[in-house]
Structure 1
Amino acid sequence: MIDHVRPAELSAWFATAPAGSRPLVLDVREPWELQTASVRAEGFDLVAIPMGELPTRLDELDPARPIACLCHHGARSLRVAAFLQHNGFEHLANISGGIDAWSHESDPGVPRY
């Protein structure tokens, strides 16, 4: 199942993760987008893998880890979460509203584009 989590709810979602597992935010935006706006990893690890590269880089991710997928508005990240689910990942969330909502709800210092 893919959970849909607003940025302001992300900490609560991470708290539901199995004990001892470090949560991960998987940013699937393109490199130019990362240069424009990025989140600070506080209480989670942050990995950036553009959506188009994910099939060849899937082995860089641990299927047992809770992973919340992030993009600009939430559409690409939802497709990535579905791809991960299809490949055996279980504890997944789509960050609804993406980095745009992150800027609005969690960190106004993150530029909007």
Structure 2
Amino acid sequence: MDKSAALVAFAALSQASRLDAFRLLVQAGDNGKLAGEISEALGARQNTMSTNLSVLLNAGLLRNEREGRAIRYFANMDGLQGLLGYLLQDCCGGQPELCAPLIAEITCQTSTCGEAK
């Protein structure tokens, strides 16, 4: 991921409803969620959520699949990996042991992984 794409992704995540939708879809995993389910879970109007999902989709953070008349959304883990990779690209100035706690947390190898912060 380059700087320009990272800025688009950060801009997409910088709004509360979009961040909540992205996190919900990360939690949903491979099952994803229908657009209506996302709206309902977050208490948002469907047309507003549709716009927010489009922003996340265009930023490469979501992917979608049509199911008849409905659209199912999924977190694009490749997009997330690209964003995290961009952030950590030059991590720790050649001292990977300094990044070990951060990497362990990101990859859920710690006892606190998944806890609300």
| Same fold per superposition (TM over 0.5) | no
Q: Which has the higher strand share?
A: 1
Q: TM-score range by the shorter chain?
A: 0.3 to 0.5
* Relative contact order higher in (CA < 8 Å, ≥ 6 apart): 1
TM-score (norm 1): 0.36
